[in-house]
Amino acid sequence: MTKSSIAVASMIDHARQGDARALATLMPLVYDELRRLAIRYMRRERPGQTLQATALVHDVYLRLLQDSQLSWQNRAHFFGIAARSMRQILIERARTRGAAKRGGGRVRVTFEPGLIAAEAPTLDLEALDEALTRLATFDAELARVVEVRFFGGLSIEETAEALDISPATVKRRWTLARAWLARELGDTPRR
């Protein structure tokens, strides 16, 4: 564990015990890592996204502070919760955008696929969220592994720590979840 990881773990522990100064000290320690997570998320977003990584981090911070019991168990758990919050914020924005697209009396025009220049594939967060919800109905642990690995950007070892399972189990569940999602979405989340 690095010195900063130990400091973060210590601040999380103190914040859980009600130390307001520890909570205020925690955010600057985790800000850069949260920003890296947010940037990763934003790269997966469709073009034209107006939300910036900094705004996403601030929204996540506000949600983390709303957790009145500060239920974070450790550093990996904290970042897992932050990743879930980022996912929820982006899904809410995608749904809002989708609802606006479906209304307004706009005229729909259909193009032939051959006439449209091919763009780099973008991730449909709504479809992924729906697929993860379906996956969670029959195996919540698989869905949680995807959340922490894909959305949280945690390594196999960090995921194992956050979920309190072995790294080998994380690898097996990650492989199984990716295969299931590939079938459901026609593509595989990478990480």
pLDDT digits (tens, 9 = 90+) for 95-106: 777 665 655 445
Domain boundaries, the chain: 3-99, 115-185
Yes or no: say if 78 and 8 are a contact pair by the CB < 8 Å rule: yes
For range 65-93, the mean pLDDT: 78
Per-residue confidence (pLDDT) for residue 110, from 0 to 100: 52
C-alpha span between 134 and 169 (Å, rounded):
21
> Would residue 188 be called left, alpha or beta, if left means φ above 0 and alpha means ψ between -120 and 50 degrees?
beta
> What is the CATH architecture assignment of 3-99?
Orthogonal Bundle (1.10)
| Cβ count near 135 (within 10 Å) | 21
Going by pLDDT thresholds of 50, 70 and 90, the confidence category of residue 187 is low
Q: Which of 3, 150, 161, 17 is nearest to 76 (CA)?
A: 161
C-alpha span between 129 and 146 (Å, rounded):
11
C-alpha span between 187 and 14 (Å, rounded):
42
Per-residue confidence (pLDDT) for residue 188, from 0 to 100: 46
Q: Class assignment of domain 115-185?
A: mainly alpha
